[in-house]
Chain A
């Protein structure tokens, strides 16, 4: 049984965080969409205006992964705002390396996140999941999550840079 700790990410973790982001994107079959660099992660998370917060899961050296990693999971979140209920905690990414699953790391990360949400006076924790990711949807629903796309009909939209620039110049 692996020992692990959960702690706040530090600037030195950005290389591991990017590696885990790419692993998760690969699982979501969208690896080529990751264009973020370590430099941006560093500036955006640990600069003057942090755009995100992050926890990492770490195992001792003697339990490192096959390729020698000790940082084996992470959760990235930030605060958003719902004009109906106020502050929210938005969970952007949440991932544990496959060889470290099934020992409670994911559950502990989720509990830590919800504790953070309650401590910071957030009414709710929101996140998105791809509908074909049945395993994750079940994981969250078992713990009481509601699917707002299904129940209320919310659809997520994005306007990418090219079209954004068109909007600003019109």
Chain B
């Protein structure tokens, strides 16, 4: 099957939003999705974008059961390691189940790595849920190291009430 990997355009946000929800359902956390394609348009396609996105597209004759031709995406952004410098963080990588096993996931990830390389990034990071064995195996096969296992890194978060409370106690300017 032919497929094309290309940079996402503003028009793609509805498809990207649809697939974000599909991925969230797979990760068993759909109720946590709070933003729609409108926020994606604003945050990804303004003069100061907060993320970059690639999409995988198939020709009309290979469209999905429901008629979609945009069948996969990778959403990423740049981060900074005080030890090593510029890094790429791949936040989401997703291919619709009926289009798997054809190299689309690999194609998307290669393109992210290439974009990162062009910006002189020395590392690509991502996170995976501990029960997601297919994904864990996919990444480990490409050389990914589990830093939570080997170095004990844990993800922490301040959000909602905890963040507001902390901010309210900030010193006045």
Write the residues of chain A forming the contact surface with B, with a CB cutoff of 8 angstroms. 6, 21, 24-25, 30, 33-36, 40, 44, 51-52, 76, 78-87, 90, 92-93, 108, 110-112, 114-115, 117-118, 123-132, 137, 140, 143-150, 152-168, 170
- Asked whether, in the complex, the Cβ of B142 is within 8 Å of the Cβ of A33, the reply is no
18 contacts between A and B (CB under 8 A): A35-B83, A51-B85, A80-B89, A80-B91, A85-B34, A86-B43, A111-B167, A124-B160, A124-B163, A129-B153, A143-B166, A146-B159, A149-B153, A152-B129, A154-B127, A156-B127, A158-B125, A164-B117
Distance in angstroms from B62 CB to nearest chain A CB is: 23
Majority DSSP secondary structure for residues of B touching A: mixed
Given known A131-B152, A143-B158, contact A110–B166 (CB-CB < 8 A): yes
Chain A residues closer than 8 Å to B114, beta-carbon distance? 168
Chain B residues closer than 8 Å to A170, beta-carbon distance? 106, 110
A56 to B5, CA, bound (A): 42
List which B4-47 residues lie within 8 A (CB) of chain A. 16, 20, 24, 29, 32-35, 39-40, 43-44
Q: What is the 8 Å Cβ interface bit string for chain B, positions 132-173, against chain A (1 contact, 0 not)?
A: 000010010011111111011111111111111111011100
Chain B residues closer than 8 Å to A92, beta-carbon distance? 79-82
A92 to B87, CA, bound (A): 12
- Asked whether, in the complex, the Cβ of A51 is within 8 Å of the Cβ of B130, the reply is no
- Asked whether, in the complex, the Cβ of A129 is within 8 Å of the Cβ of B156, the reply is yes
Residue B51 at the chain A interface, CB threshold 8 Å: yes
A80 to B125, CA, bound (A): 13
A132 to B146, CA, bound (A): 16
Chain B residues closer than 8 Å to A40, beta-carbon distance? 85
Given contacts A156-B146, A164-B121, 10 further A-B contacts (CB under 8 A): A6-B171, A21-B82, A36-B81, A44-B86, A86-B35, A114-B158, A148-B154, A152-B129, A156-B147, A160-B145
Task: Choose one: A30, A85, A90; the contact of B35 (CB below 8 Å).
Answer: A85
- Asked whether, in the complex, the Cβ of A87 is within 8 Å of the Cβ of B166, the reply is no
> Looking across the interface, which residue of chain B has its beta carbon closest to that of A74?
B82
